[in-house]
Amino acid sequence: MTATPFPVSEIVASRRPHRKDAARNYDALLTAAREAFAEHGAEASLEDIARRAGVGIGTLYRNFPTRRDLFETVYADEVNALCRAAVEVADREPWQALTSWLNRFTGYMVTKRAVREALDDESDIFMACRESMYAAGGPLLERAQKAGVARADMDFGDLLRMVAGITATAFEDDAQRDRVLAIALDGVRTGR
């Protein structure tokens, strides 16, 4: 994958330092931050993130001068992966392509929820990510609608928020989550 079809993918790459040790630390910080945000939400301690990454707090601040910078980068990274996933499912049946992408979307929501708390919805990066994501996933819904397997009176934003909400909730087990999600998607599906 040499081309980058979505502008967001540039964000992570552009920040990444060139020196070997610096790049390693940068990656470790991103991984640690993703974990910490998933675990503690937006309130995650930056010092804890640095500790997890096995790096001094100074190194964290050099790479990400503000808490916001760290958020944005983690978020963009995640969106990027999601966009790539949309390409991968494109060859399946319309309904199946849509639902399996939504499944991948579930994982991304963990990070998303933390970012929602911290990032302004009007933030440039947030809007760029949104755009990328709609460009990647939107066609999947449109295809299903044209094939007559998804109701026409809703848009991609409605669908995303529905799935987002459901997957962000705590369930007794994965089976229950899948069951509930399936019921909700039954409301989206047409022709049985």
Phi/psi zone of residue 41: left (φ > 0), alpha (ψ -120 to 50 degrees), beta? left
DSSP secondary structure of the chain: --S--STTHHHHHHHS-SSHHHHHHHHHHHHHHHHHHHHHGGG--HHHHHHHTT--HHHHHHH-SSHHHHHHHHHHHHHHHHHHHHHHTTTS-HHHHHHHHHHHHHHHHHHHHHHHHHS-TT-HHHHHHHHHHHHHHHHHHHHHHHTTSB-SS--HHHHHHHHHHHHHS--SSHHHHHHHHHHHHHHHB---
Report the partner that residue 46 touches, choosing among its own copies, DNA, none (CB closer than 5 to 8 A by kind): DNA
x/- site string to its own copies, residues 51 to 80, per CB under 8 A? ------------------------------
Toward DNA, which CB reaches closer, 18 or 192? Answer: 18
Report the partner that residue 148 touches, choosing among DNA, its own copies, none (CB closer than 5 to 8 A by kind): none
Q: In angstroms, give the least distance from the CB of 52 to DNA.
A: 11
Q: In angstroms, give the least distance from the CB of 46 to its own copies.
A: 15
Identify residues 126-155 at the interface with its own copies (CB under 8 A): 151, 154
Identify residues 23-42 at the interface with its own copies (CB under 8 A): 41
Rounded CA-CA distance 35/29 in Å is: 10
Q: Does 185 bind its own copies (CB under 8 A)?
A: yes
x/- site string to its own copies, residues 150 to 179, per CB under 8 A? -x--x--xx--xx-xxxxxxxxx---x--x
Identify residues 86-125 at the interface with its own copies (CB under 8 A): 116, 121
| Residues contributing to the site for its own copies (CB under 8 A) | 41, 43, 116, 121, 151, 154, 157-158, 161-162, 164-172, 176, 179-180, 183-188
